[in-house]
Homo-oligomer: A and B are copies of this chain.
């Protein structure tokens, strides 16, 4: 099935206890598309400014990523984010954010993308997510992400977005913030009440939880002692998950569980090095080898 993703592409400056990376390629759609491309061709929708360095385009070129939807806007500047991780590195502290081109008009979706069947909408203004849903009338599954900022500023619009999607991924703090519930299962079920068929709550180093109307599945993260930079973990998770789902074209509970497992694995590669270095070097064989280790680890016997 065809897969399209829309989100940010930008330049990140990240500091963690293990080092610093300046002006590196970043943004939700970068981590998403690189991870999803391990499973299927990805159509990318995003916008950068005219300052976007050419060498960053080469990263996409190595993968099955369709860049017809990557708009380079003359006279605009690329989105920039600077963040810092401390202690257990479970949460980034935003040092600075320059929306630049992201704050302008949304990127144009190429005509050839309108028949996309699997759609991922990374975190952005929920009204923009709603207008993006309309761009894909053939969608079988639309999944959105969100973040604390939008829950705080645009809760009603976010509720409307949730009524238009089949699935949502968000982190534990966001799920609690949006619902006011402490217990994550209760929070997940509250979110289902807004319309989606499934909710996946990402818990950082503690793994992820899937809630449907019939089932709850919690899976741990893949254990690694080489966590260098958690940036992009959530988007890599979504990429692995959506890439796998699109590649098989079904999203019943069994496929969702396996998709979560694949997302867990792609995220585990991302966090093992700065910026894209962790996931960039990975191929599908490496993903499947790590999935086999993960599956073994979870086999109670």
Residues of A within 8 A of B (CB): 17, 87-89, 182-186, 189, 203, 205-207, 209, 216-221, 223-225, 227, 254, 257-258, 261, 291, 294-295, 297-301
Give the chain B neighbours of A207 by CB distance below 8 A: 206-207, 218, 220
- 29 contacting pairs across A/B (C-beta < 8 A): A17-B182, A87-B182, A88-B182, A89-B182, A183-B225, A183-B227, A185-B223, A186-B225, A203-B206, A206-B206, A206-B220, A207-B218, A209-B223, A216-B223, A216-B297, A217-B223, A217-B297, A218-B297, A219-B220, A219-B298, A258-B301, A261-B300, A291-B300, A294-B300, A295-B300, A298-B298, A298-B299, A298-B300, A299-B299
Please tell me which one of the listed residues B184, B189, B223, B300 contacts residue A218 in the complex, with CB atoms under 8 A apart. Answer: B223
Task: Give CA–CA (A206, B202) in the complex, Å.
Answer: 12
Bound: A300/B301 CA distance, A: 13
Nearest opposing residue in chain B for A257, CB measure: B300
Q: 14 new A-B pairs (CB below 8 Å) besides A183-B225, A207-B207, A216-B297?
A: A87-B182, A183-B227, A185-B224, A186-B225, A206-B206, A206-B207, A207-B218, A218-B221, A219-B220, A220-B220, A257-B301, A258-B300, A258-B301, A298-B299
Expressed in whole angstroms, the Cα–Cα distance for A219 and B17 within the complex equals 27
Chain B residues whose C-beta falls within 8 Å of the C-beta of A301 in the assembled complex? 254, 257-258
Closest to A254 in B: B301
How distant is A35 from chain B, measured CB to nearest CB, in Å?
A: 18
A54 to B254, CA, bound (A): 51
Residues of B close to A299: CB separation below 8 A: 298-299
Docked Cα-Cα span, A291 to B301, in Å, equals 11
**Most chain B CB neighbours (cut-off 10 Å) among A87, A89, A258, A297:** A297
Contacts of A300 in B (CB 8 A): 257-258, 261, 291, 294-295, 298
Q: Which of A185, A216, A257, A300 has the most CB of B within 10 A?
A: A300
What's the least CB distance linking A83 to chain B, in Å? 18
Enumerate chain B residues within 8 angstroms of A89, measured Cβ to Cβ.
182
Please give me the 7 A-B residue pairs with the lowest Cβ-Cβ distance, nearest first: A185-B225, A206-B206, A218-B220, A298-B298, A216-B223, A295-B300, A261-B300
Which chain B residues lie closer than 8 Å to A182 at the CB level? 17, 87-89
Docked CA distance A221–B218 (Å):
8
Shortest Cβ distance from residue A174 to the other chain B in the assembled complex, whole angstroms: 15
